[in-house]
Structure formats: C-alpha cells, structure tokens
Chains A and B, each alone.
Chain A
Amino acid sequence: MNYEMEDSQNAAPGHATVHEASKLSSSSRRQDAQSVTKRLQTELMQLMMSSTPGVSAFPDDPNDLLAWTATITGPAETPYANLIFKLSFVFPNTYPYAPPTVLFKTPIYHPNVDFSGRICLDILKDKWSAVYNVSSVLLSLQSLLGEPNNASPLNGQAAELWDSNPVEYKRLVLARHQDLDEE
C-alpha cells in the first residue's frame, strides 16, 4: 500500500495537491506562451500595416516570436542623423505585463546606453505598462537619441559632452558607430 498516495487523495479539497499545482501552473504557462505569441502576431501585423518611417522590426525566427530584431534610423538634426541602429528585443513569457529586454546591437555612443548596448529608459523598467508595444518602444528610443536623459547617464562622458562640446560628441558618435551589415 502506498500510504503517501492515499494521503494526497484524502487531502482537504480546498488545498491543491502538489500534482495539481504543477499541472495548473504548467497549463497556465502554456496559455501565457500562447497569448504572448498572439499578442506579438498582432503587433507585427500592426507594424506592417502602418509603416512608420525610420522604425522597423521583425521576428528573428517566425516559429518563435519571442525574439525580434529592430532597426532605428537616427532622427534628422541630431548627431545620429541617418545612422542605422539595430536592436534586439527579447520578450518574456509574461509580456506585455513585463517589459521586453531591449539592447542596442549596433555600438552606440549615447548618454543612456552603456558600451554593451544596455539602455537606461524608464519605460523599459519601472514605468513599463501593458499599453506599450514594440512600435511605441521604438519611437521612444528614436526620440531618446535626440533628447538624452542626462540626469541618469550610463555613459557620463557622453552626458557631459552632449552639452559642452557637440562637435566632439558628433565625432565620437561617428567613431563608435559601425554598420552591422558590413560585417
């Protein structure tokens, strides 16, 4: 006789057994994955239907929509004008309730981006909301290029140069920038 089994069978109905709990969580996770995929599909379709100039994004692998690559063209009249930046998006299973992880793939010289491409942007951290989407994140990033938040820099030199020496700033931006496609 397996008493352990019997115990679990006779457990109070209010408490989910270990088995049930794991089943519940796995099924809900699967459901999450499905809803994430669905949401990302919708976002992709929206992006395609309304092409915003200077911004684009596409999944890396159509079978797994959780990783995308995006492209931003630097806004005119900024040191980044006409430069092309690639970014990687990785969506968590809890998306859109948690923000995607966004990194600059193209080396960029910017006060709010460190040398490994990590970005300091409030909406990608504590200010994230489920109403944001890929397109709005990209637009925010595009505007971040023209208006850096120098109050909380990741790259102190850049924050300093932005105000003090635009010429040197521009030179550093161009020096740092490499087109990924050329590799």
Chain B
Amino acid sequence: MDRPSIAFTNSSSSTAATQAGNAAMAAYERIFAAVFPPSADAVVPTPAATPILGSTGLGQSFGGFSVPEPEPQNSAEEQIKWDRSWHTATSYLSLPNELITVAHARQSEDALKARWFKPFRAETANDVSYIVSSESQGRKLRKGLVKDNLLQWYFEEAVCRHYMYYVLPTVIQCLNDKLDQRGLYDTIQVLQVAQAIYSHPLKNHISSFLPQKGAWELEQARQSLHSLFAHSIPTENFTAQVSQFLKEQASTVLCINEAQDQQLDPAIISSARRKTTRVMESLKNIGLAGPKAERLFAEVMSGILDQFVAIQFAGKWSSPSKIPEQLRDWIENRFSRFIVEVLAHVRDANLDSGNFSHSISYGDTLKWQQMGIRKLGELRVEELFDVVAEWSMDSQGAIEDLKYYVREGKWRFHLTSMFCEALSRRLLQPGASTTEILQIYMAIIRAFTILDPKGVLLDRVARPIRRYLREREDTVNIVVGGLLADLEDDPPVSGVLYELAEELETTGGLPVDEKVEDFDDLDFDDMMWEPDPVDAPLEYKRSKHNDVIGALISLFETKEAFITEFEKILGERLLRNEHEFDKEIRVLELLKIRFGEPPLQSCEVMLRDIMDSRRVDAFIHKEQNFAQNQRLHAKILSHHFWPSLHTDDFHLPAPITSLQTRYANSFAKLKASRKLTWHPSLGQVTVSLDFEDRIVREEVQTWQASVIYAFDSSSSSSPSPPATTQSVQTLTSSLEMSESLVRNALTFWVSKFVLVQSAPDTYRVLETLPSDTLDSATSTTAQAAARAAASDAVTSAAASSAVKSEEDMLQEKMEVYWNFVKAMLTNQGAMGLEKIVMMLKMVVPGGFPFGVDELKAFLAGRVEEGRLEVGLQGYKIVH
C-alpha cells in the first residue's frame, strides 16, 4: 500500500508546483463537474441539458447584476480631493511648451534654473504627497485609469511630449547641420540640459514622498529617459559623429600620423585625452554609452591599429627590422592604455559591479599585439611583390617582419595565394621581358629562402612562375647567356642577366650538399631538427634547387634542353671571340659539378678543339712562314661534337684559297689521317681598304670580305672589266653566294661609305669621299633610305650567328615531315589536309609542331613545284 500513497503525494506536489498547472486543474474540474448534474445549492439559470455552452464557475451567477464593491465612505469628497490634488501636481509637473535650443543649452546653470525650474510650494507638496501615497482613498476610485500614477503620467504625458516636440528637433538639427564635432557637443549638451530639467522635480521634490526616498522610481525614470534618448536619436548621424570624434582624438593621442621619433606637443595630447574622457563621460550620463558605444569604440580602435601600421610601417623595409618590437611596444604602452582609460568612462560602473570586469587584462593586450602583428603581416603581404621586385639587402626587413606572420597555416596560405595573384597580374604578362621575370624569380628565391628556410612557401609560389618560364622560348637562351655574361661589359647590354653571372661569381655556383639534405630526417642526433611546416604537402621534400642557379637550371624539364642550348651559345662564343676562355671554362666546370661529366662531354671537346687549334695553328704558321699580310688562322673543330653549323658556301678570294691549300697541306703533314673541310662562312677577317684619299680598316665576316674583294681593281681575276662597279647578279654568280647574303654585305659596305649604289642593284666603289659626305648622304631621300636599310642590315648581320638557329632547324625538320607526307600519300592514297595533320601528329615521333595553316602553306609550295596536286579527295602525289 505504500507505493500508491507515495505516487499520490508526488503527483499532488508536482501539480501544485506551477500556477499553470493549477489553472489547468481548475478548468478540468469544471469540465468534469459539468457532466454531472449540478449540486442543489448552485444557481443554475439554464437547463442542465445544455452543458456544451459551457458553464460558469461554481457559485457564480450566470449574467445578472454584479455585486458592487463596497464603496468607500465619503467617496464624492474623496474624489474631489483627489482630482484637485492631481490637478495641482500635474500642473506643477507639466513642462512649458518651449523649445530647448542650443542657445538655451549653453546658458549658465542659474539662467536655466530660473527659466525651467518651478517653485515648489507647500500646498503642492501636500497634494503631491496625497497623490503619491499608496493609502490615499482617491487612488482606489481612480483604479484602472491612467490618472492614478503620477510618475507614469509625468513621463508619458509631460516628458515624452515635451521631448518629442521641443528637444528632438534641436538634436536632429544639430546632428544634420554640423558635421564637425560641434554637432556632437551640442547634442550632448542639449540632451544633458533636457535630462536635468526633466529629472529636477522628481529628484529634488517628489522623491522625498516616495518610499525609500524613491530610489527605485528615480532609477526607473532615468532608464526610461535614456531609452527614450537612445531610440529617438538619428542613429546613423550620431554614430558617424561619435566615431569620427573618437578617431580624431585617438589618432592625436596615439600620434599615429607622426614620424616615429617625433611626438606631438604633450599639451595637445592631454587635451585630446581629456576631451575624449569628457565626451565619453557625458555620453554615459545621458545613457548613450552602453554596449553600442563600446562596440563603436572597438571598431574605431581597430581602424586606428590598421592606420597606424599602414602609416608607420608601409615601405619601411630596412634590415634588421625592429618593427615588430616597436609595434608590440606601442600596443602595450599606448594603445591598450588608451583603451583602458576610455573604457573606464564608457562602461557603466553599476553594471560592472557584477560579474563583469571592466579592467583590461594583460591577455587582452597580448591579443592586440597579435592582431597588430597580423595587420603588419597583411601589409607586408600586400607589399611583398614590390619588396621582391626591388630586392636588395636593405629590403630584407620586410621579410623578417613576415616571419612572425607565416607561423600560422592560414596566413601562409593567404600569403602564397596573394603573392601568386600579384605575380600573375603584374609579372607573368606578355609585356614583361623574360630577363625581367628571371630577375624577379631570382629575387623570389632569395626572399623566400629567408622567409621560410624549409622551402614550402617557395615551392608554392615558384610553381606558376616556373611553368610560365618554361613556355617562353628564350628562357634557356637568357639563362645560359646570363651564366656566361661578362660582368665587365660596359655599358651593360640590355636583356642580359648579369645577376646570374654575379651569383655564379659569389656563390661559386656550388649546389647545396645534396647528400646531407637527403638524409636530413634520418639524422637522429640533429638537435636543431624542426618538423616541416603544417602546410607542407605530404611526402614533401625540400627542393634541392633552392639556390638561385640550381633553380634556374632545373627550370627545364630535361637537362638535355639546357645543355643543347649551352653548347650552341658556347660554340658561338668560341667561334666568335679570340680571347682566353677562362670564364667559359669555369662555367663548364660548374655545370659539370651539377650535371656530371658525360652530358657535357661535347662542350669539353669543343673547348679542347679551340685550345688544340691554337697549338696546331702556331705550328703550321711556323712551318709555312706566312707573310705578314697573309695570316690565316684556323680553328679546327671536331665536327661531330659541335652543334650544327651554318655552312653557306661561296667562293673565297683566290689568295685566301691558296693560303687554305698551304694550310691544309701542313695540317695533313701534322695529322696524317685527318682532312680539313673549310667552312668559308665562319670566320673573321681584318680588311684594310686603300682608297685614293683614305684607308678603311674593318673587322668583318668572311662573306662581307669576299664581296668587297670582288670590287678590288688590282685583282686580275675579276671577270667584268670595270671591277669597281658590280651588279648584284654578277656578284651572286661569280661568288656563288646566296643573293640575300650578297645584298646584306653590300648594304654593310654602303653604310661604311665604301660602296655607293650607282644604279638599282648596281654598286660602285666610292674611291674619293665627297667632302660633304654626311650632308649629301642625308640630303637625298634615296640615300637616306639606303643608309637606314644599311644600318638595319648591319644589325641583322651582327645577329646572324654561326650556329644554326632554331628556325633553320625547323626548316630542316620540315623536310622530314615532307617525307612523311610523301609516304603517306603514296601508300594511303589522296588525303585531305586535316587528315594529313592528324596522321602527322600521331605518327611523327615527338609530335608535329605545326598546325593546319602552316602545313597548308608548306604543301602549297610543293604543289607549285609540281610534286603534289590537289584533287577532289585532297592532296595527291604526282608520280
């Protein structure tokens, strides 16, 4: 029997627990009771048969007259008394319909008092005490009407109305008209005056009649008033003005616009500081401080921090960087102090007394410092491209600043993505020269190696740049040219990557010791070991090519591409120059360290060829005893090891040919098993031309020399009678030189005032220089044009290189492609252009580099030659 009883007590206690529960119970009781016939003593005006309509509670009548409450005694008298007192009180409390203007607000306190404060007379005091007292009889009569609570009436009827009609317009006007701080000051002033006027009668007179001196009621009234202010003020303008004010004061107090070593006048700072605290204090007094203002302040301070970092540190990249320390110091000693100071005035002391501490902890300061460092990092990330682009030892500071920033994963990501974006926007454009890109890439390598020695960041930012550089055709050329560049070049030739030569000079170009790197992680005794950064990709291995030269050399997919280019440039330099090849030898040695000996074997042979040639040359000269003006020096090349050479063939002048024969004979004696094959187009000639009035001495190429030799009047071998005049056609046929080369040489000599064009395609020796050469040369337009063409020709002649260019190679390859096309069409029958291209793309090893248009042009040539014909089914071989 125990159990149910326990259950019963439980349930009863739980239902009694809540009021709602009670009400529900009552309703249930009624429903329940309604089903049964009512008890006899209940008044039931309606038949029991209609319970659906609902019923009144037990013991209550349905309709009829309500029983009036017992009327107080002397009700009429009381009522009159109440009304009279009410009237007196309200008329005392009512406010005059008068605008509170800015001018009023600025009046002295006494003037204000005289104007707005009404005298509080004794009878008023009586009436008020009657109205306010809770026991007064009149209140009961007025129960439920507005007119029973004097304070409520005062606030709603008097204060609200007055504020809306006579204060708010002034405030709005202040905020609208004066966008400077006066507007804010005036607003605060007006609101303060209004608050003083409104609260005066309550505080000074009425509160004394209230229980506990009306502390609760006054607080209530104050809060209502403040919320009235807060909700009525035009928020946007007000916020703007306050934040503007705070910004100005804060920047003055914290001296953010001044140079580091300069300080503002302390008087100005302290006045700004006072102004701020005063305004904040007043805002708190009129209830406009609060959390909103605090937030506003926080926003302003965050902006100030941004501004400080931007103004003080932008573009200051000097190394070693003290900026992070400066920033920390500033935040700790000035920034957070100012915050503490201001917040003390903003925060409501009453609210703080609870669980809410208004003191700023040291933790907050640390947080701000971190934020400052982050903002500094963001600034540096934005500047990073410029830092790198203008890289020098002085700008290392910026990178040092960033070191603090890149400790966290997401900032690292931010950095790389921002930098890559800047790269693709500012650097990887068709407008940027390859040299420029390479220079910046070198700077990037240096900068990022300082920033992140592990190389993860470099790996990420270098990728797009490397990909882009691989697409540029001249990259290899410039890199190799840079390695071999002559640092003594004066003036520096544009487009040459001297930095690379410098780097080679300084670092010796030695790669980092790769073996040590490889076993990095296995060295358990390494006490300096650090884990890879968090954002390192899986299986990340520090790139071996973090040194500048290594990075550039490894740009190319295969070292073969690099070495082929190196061979070409080396070959060119070896053939062109006469000086010692120390530099070349050194670069070759360095490359050997990197690539190993075997791939560079032909370079080695090339260098040795040149060295051997000198010895052989000296020997032959000794044996043959060449005359003074008959010096023929040869470079003997091992054809197999040299890159393919230009072998334009033409007739050399007879004396040279005889020299060649003598030379070859000697050589045959020296090296019996070998035979010399001359390359007439490669070589330099020192030409000395004797004219009637002058001697011209030029260092020229062999073909240029051969052409001018044909004009030699003293030579008996020249076929046409007046040797001093030659036409392009005769030259082409007598020298068996290609026409373009002949023309090129002719224009060269014209530019040297050795030849002159006497008729179209006919040139004559300029035996005596006209006295006004320059004038006459420029006076006739024809000659001016000729000279322009000549200078073009000279540059093009200079550009014509000993080693076959890429384009020539392509032309050669085209011959192979032609064989493919031939075989294809022969065996597979006629084919359309597209199909030919498609087949070529699939069949040609290494791919077919041309498109439909190039092939069409090429095939058109073959059609013209009669080797192809175009039919309905496409191209067809003519047998």
Residues of A near B839 (CB, < 8 A) are 62
CB < 8 Å: which of A41, A56, A60, A70 contacts B845?
Answer: A41
**Known: A44-B843, A62-B842. Is A71-B827 also a contact (CB below 8 A)?**
yes
Kindly specify which of B136-144, B353-361, B814-822 makes contact with the partner chain: B814-822
CA distance A172 to B822 in the complex (A): 30
CB < 8 Å: which of B819, B827, B828, B829 contacts A49?
Answer: B819
Which residue of B has the minimal Cβ distance to A179? Answer: B879
**Known: A41-B845, A62-B839. Is A48-B823 also a contact (CB below 8 A)?**
yes
Residues of A near B824 (CB, < 8 A) are 58
Residues of B near A4 (CB, < 8 A) are none
CA distance A52 to B470 in the complex (A): 39
CA distance A91 to B691 in the complex (A): 74
CA distance A71 to B822 in the complex (A): 11
CA distance A62 to B843 in the complex (A): 6
CA distance A73 to B826 in the complex (A): 11
Q: Are A56 and B816 in contact (CB under 8 A)?
A: no
Q: How far is the CB of B832 from chain A (nearest CB, A)?
A: 15
Q: How far is the CB of B490 from chain A (nearest CB, A)?
A: 48
Q: Are B823 and A57 in contact (CB under 8 A)?
A: yes
Q: Are B819 and A48 in contact (CB under 8 A)?
A: yes
Which residue of B has the minimal Cβ distance to A44? Answer: B843
CA distance A58 to B843 in the complex (A): 10
Q: How far is the CB of B826 from chain A (nearest CB, A)?
A: 5
Q: How far is the CB of A63 from chain B (nearest CB, A)?
A: 7
User: Which of A48, A49, A51, A69 has most chain B Cβ within 10 Å?
Assistant: A48
Q: Are B827 and A56 in contact (CB under 8 A)?
A: yes
Residues of A near B822 (CB, < 8 A) are 51, 56
The answer to whether A104 has its CB under 8 Å from any CB of chain B is: no
The answer to whether A181 has its CB under 8 Å from any CB of chain B is: yes
CA distance A60 to B823 in the complex (A): 11
Q: Are A45 and B845 in contact (CB under 8 A)?
A: yes
Residues of B near A84 (CB, < 8 A) are 879
Q: How far is the CB of B646 from chain A (nearest CB, A)?
A: 22
The total of Cβ contacts below 8 Å across the A-B interface reads: 43
Residues of A near B827 (CB, < 8 A) are 56-58, 68-71, 86
Residues of A near B830 (CB, < 8 A) are 181
CB < 8 Å: which of A41, A47, A63 contacts B823?
Answer: A47
Residues of A near B820 (CB, < 8 A) are 48, 58
Q: Mark B777-821, 1 if CB is under 8 A from A, else 0.
A: 000000000000000000000000000000000000000100110
Instruction: Please report which residues of chain A, range 61-92, place their CB below 8 angstroms from some CB of chain B when the two chains form the complex.
Output: 62-63, 68-71, 73, 84, 86
User: Which of B827, B828, B830, B845 has most chain A Cβ within 10 Å?
Assistant: B827
Which residue of A has the minimal Cβ distance to B846? Answer: A45
Which residue of B has the minimal Cβ distance to A180? Answer: B829
Residues of A near B819 (CB, < 8 A) are 47-49, 51
CA distance A59 to B824 in the complex (A): 8
Q: Are B816 and A48 in contact (CB under 8 A)?
A: yes
CB < 8 Å: which of B823, B829, B843 contacts A56?
Answer: B823
User: Which of A49, A60, A69 has most chain B Cβ within 10 Å?
Assistant: A69
Q: Are B828 and A63 in contact (CB under 8 A)?
A: no
Q: Are A69 and B845 in contact (CB under 8 A)?
A: no
Q: How far is the CB of B835 from chain A (nearest CB, A)?
A: 11
Interface size on B, residues (CB 8 A): 16
Which residue of B has the minimal Cβ distance to A42? Answer: B845
Q: Are B842 and A56 in contact (CB under 8 A)?
A: no
CA distance A47 to B839 in the complex (A): 16
CA distance A70 to B819 in the complex (A): 14
Which residue of B has the minimal Cβ distance to A63? Answer: B842
Q: Mark A27-51, 1 if CB is under 8 A from B, else 0.
A: 0000000000000010011011101
Q: Are A60 and B829 in contact (CB under 8 A)?
A: no
CB < 8 Å: which of B826, B843, B845 contacts A71?
Answer: B826
**Known: A48-B819, A49-B819. Is A56-B826 also a contact (CB below 8 A)?**
yes
CA distance A53 to B845 in the complex (A): 23
CB < 8 Å: which of A44, A45, A58 contacts B828?
Answer: A58
CA distance A47 to B158 in the complex (A): 111
Q: Are B826 and A58 in contact (CB under 8 A)?
A: yes
Which residue of B has the minimal Cβ distance to A50? Answer: B819
Residues of B near A56 (CB, < 8 A) are 822-823, 826-827
Instruction: Please report which residues of chain B, range 837-856, place their CB below 8 angstroms from some CB of chain A when the two chains form the complex.
Output: 839, 842-843, 845
Q: How far is the CB of A35 from chain B (nearest CB, A)?
A: 16
CA distance A84 to B877 in the complex (A): 13
CA distance A169 to B843 in the complex (A): 41
Residues of B near A51 (CB, < 8 A) are 819, 822-823
CA distance A44 to B824 in the complex (A): 11
CA distance A49 to B818 in the complex (A): 10
Q: How far is the CB of A73 from chain B (nearest CB, A)?
A: 8
CA distance A49 to B824 in the complex (A): 14
CA distance A68 to B839 in the complex (A): 14
Which residue of A has the minimal Cβ distance to B817? Answer: A48
CA distance A63 to B839 in the complex (A): 9
Which residue of B has the minimal Cβ distance to A183? Answer: B829
**Known: A41-B845, A49-B816, A49-B819. Is A60-B828 also a contact (CB below 8 A)?**
yes
CA distance A57 to B845 in the complex (A): 16
Q: How far is the CB of B875 from chain A (nearest CB, A)?
A: 13
CB < 8 Å: which of B826, B829, B843, B845 contacts A59?
Answer: B843
Which residue of B has the minimal Cβ distance to A51? Answer: B819
CA distance A171 to B618 in the complex (A): 72
CA distance A73 to B839 in the complex (A): 24
Q: Mark B748-775, 1 if CB is under 8 A from A, else 0.
A: 0000000000000000000000000000
CA distance A69 to B839 in the complex (A): 14
Residues of A near B828 (CB, < 8 A) are 58, 60, 69
Residues of B near A47 (CB, < 8 A) are 819, 823
Which residue of A has the minimal Cβ distance to B843? Answer: A62
CA distance A181 to B824 in the complex (A): 14
CB < 8 Å: which of B823, B829, B842 contacts A181?
Answer: B829
Q: How far is the CB of A60 from chain B (nearest CB, A)?
A: 7
Q: How far is the CB of A43 from chain B (nearest CB, A)?
A: 12
Q: Mark B657-689, 1 if CB is under 8 A from A, else 0.
A: 000000000000000000000000000000000
Residues of A near B826 (CB, < 8 A) are 56, 58, 71
Q: How far is the CB of A48 from chain B (nearest CB, A)?
A: 4
Which residue of A has the minimal Cβ distance to B838? Answer: A62
Residues of A near B879 (CB, < 8 A) are 73, 84
Q: How far is the CB of B820 from chain A (nearest CB, A)?
A: 5
CA distance A59 to B816 in the complex (A): 16
CA distance A136 to B819 in the complex (A): 18
Which residue of A has the minimal Cβ distance to B876? Answer: A181
Instruction: Please report which residues of chain B, range 53-97, place their CB below 8 angstroms from some CB of chain A when the two chains form the complex.
Output: none
CA distance A7 to B823 in the complex (A): 58
Q: How far is the CB of A181 from chain B (nearest CB, A)?
A: 6
CA distance A112 to B843 in the complex (A): 33
Q: How far is the CB of A141 from chain B (nearest CB, A)?
A: 14
CA distance A84 to B843 in the complex (A): 24
CA distance A71 to B827 in the complex (A): 6
Residues of A near B845 (CB, < 8 A) are 41, 45
CA distance A73 to B879 in the complex (A): 10
Residues of B near A44 (CB, < 8 A) are 843
CA distance A174 to B839 in the complex (A): 34
Q: Mark A155-183, 1 if CB is under 8 A from B, else 0.
A: 00000000000000000000000000100
Q: How far is the CB of A183 from chain B (nearest CB, A)?
A: 10
CA distance A47 to B824 in the complex (A): 12
CA distance A71 to B825 in the complex (A): 10
Instruction: Rank and list the top 6 A-B pairs by shortest CB-CB distance, nearest first.
Output: A62-B842, A69-B827, A58-B827, A48-B819, A58-B823, A56-B823
Pick 12 A–B contacts, CB within 8 A, sort by A: A44-B843, A48-B820, A49-B816, A56-B826, A56-B827, A57-B827, A58-B820, A58-B823, A58-B827, A69-B828, A84-B879, A181-B829
Q: Hey, which bits of chain B sit against chain A, CB under 8 A? A: 816, 819-820, 822-824, 826-830, 839, 842-843, 845, 879
Known: A56-B826, A62-B843, A84-B879. 9 other contacts (CB 8 A): A48-B816, A51-B819, A51-B822, A56-B827, A62-B839, A68-B827, A70-B827, A71-B827, A181-B829
